[in-house]
Amino acid sequence: MAKSTVNVGIVGDYDPMSATHRATSEAVQHAADHLGITAITTWLPTEELDGDAEQRLAGFDALWCAPGSPYRSMSGALEAIRIARTTNCPFLGTCGGFQHTIIEYARAVLGIADAQHAEYEPGAARLFITPLSCSLVGKTMQVALVTGSRAFQAYGQRTVGEHYYCNFGLNPEYAAVLQEHGLHVVGTDQDGETRIVELPDHRFFMATLFVPQTRSTAAAPHPLILAYLRAACCNGAEAPAE
């Protein structure tokens, strides 16, 4: 039986002045109202997850790694992503959440223990996350979706326009190796650079460099967030109707 109430844990260091943080909580509510369910959101500071993530995350039906990089604790954020990935817990990572999803996968699945993010350690030898060729903060750009992907199914169209708040993204040198090891690149920009990744065999595991929550409204919840909440509440049962 599908759940009528879902507990969503939002991993990130909440800042009430952050437009993307406010939009994250609001977007969950938009989607929940549309689906006719109750969503309870709890912000989870990254420092609180460092070394105690298993216990702290018990009981959440879904996890969302929110914007806000660099986090106060990278290891806390990475541990939350690992738990979502390995326990089939519905997961969405946006902006900084996308960047840390890449780092977690590189370290834990590819076995590259020194995979790093340039925002934390710009001189590292294995930079999976590097500065973008130009800042995307405040820009809206087109994203081309891979037909048949979870993202494509959610949107129901091949190309979408999305809004960005970021200065860092996936180092293009590593896109192919991530794809080969199961983290599929399913959304790219006009230059072919990675904007969405997902795990096809997971209940719902997706990360976007853009911030879909900023395009969500009560009248028009974002399709990716609707798909995410459906996965959180169905637990293998029939999902709520559109």
Question: Is the distance from CB of 193 to CB of 169 less than 8 angstroms?
Answer: yes
Q: How far is CA 159 from CA 144, 173, 217, in A?
A: 5, 24, 20
Tens of pLDDT, residue by residue over 146-177, are 999 999 999 999 999 999 998 999 999 999 99
Question: Is the distance from CB of 44 to CB of 57 less than 8 angstroms?
Answer: yes
Tens of pLDDT, residue by residue over 91-119, are 999 999 999 999 999 999 999 999 999 99
**According to the CATH classification, is domain 5-234 in 3.40.640.10?**
no
Confidence of residue 241 (pLDDT cuts 50, 70, 90): very low
Please choose, from the candidates 20, 25, 19, 31, the residue with its C-alpha nearest in 3D space to the C-alpha of residue 230: 31
Element spanning 143, H or E: strand 140-145
Between CA 169 and CA 163 the distance in angstroms is: 14
Per-residue pLDDT averaged across 209-229, rounded?
A: 97
Q: Is the pLDDT of residue 218 over 80?
A: yes
Question: Is the distance from CB of 98 to CB of 209 less than 8 angstroms?
Answer: yes
pTM here is 0.94
Per-residue pLDDT averaged across 131-149, rounded?
A: 91
Please choose, from the candidates 71, 6, 70, the residue with its C-alpha nearest in 3D space to the C-alpha of residue 44: 71
Confidence of residue 17 (pLDDT cuts 50, 70, 90): very high
Q: Give the domain ranges of the chain.
A: 5-234
